Amino acid sequence: MRNRNISNIFLLKAASIVGKGMIWGNIIGFLLCFLQWKFKIIKLNPTNYFVSFVPIKISFVDILMLNIISAVVIMLIISISTLFISRVSPDKTMRVN
């Protein structure tokens, strides 16, 4: 196989892992936000703060932008690492001195 094909397979597999991680992360994050909004689990000391609990405000546009930027940065980092990996030749690494 050519280095380009190997890099593409590596990037596709990484994108799949990143996508699944972001989906599960968003589900857990929204669940925690909902629990805090509904039951006010995290309390604050009213003598130090103006509110007695941690308020929750969800902006779907901000969350979407954060997900997109995170995915792009992660994929850039992974693609840069594939450039270094593709320069390693298997025959030189498998040789025993």
Condensed to tens digits (0 to 9), the pLDDT of residues 25-67 reads 999 999 999 999 999 999 999 899 999 999 999 999 999 999 9
Burial profile 16-53: b = 16 or more Cβ within 10 angstroms, e = fewer: eeeeeebeeeeeeeeeeeeeeeeeeeeeeeeeeeeeee
Q: What are phi and psi of 88, to 5 degrees?
A: -80, 125
Cα 5 from chain centroid? 24
pLDDT of res. 96 = 66
DSSP string covering 17-85: HHHHHHHHHHHHHHHHHHHHHHH--SB--TTTSSSSB------HHHHHHHHHHHHHHHHHHHHHHHHHH
pTM exceeds 0.85 for this model: no
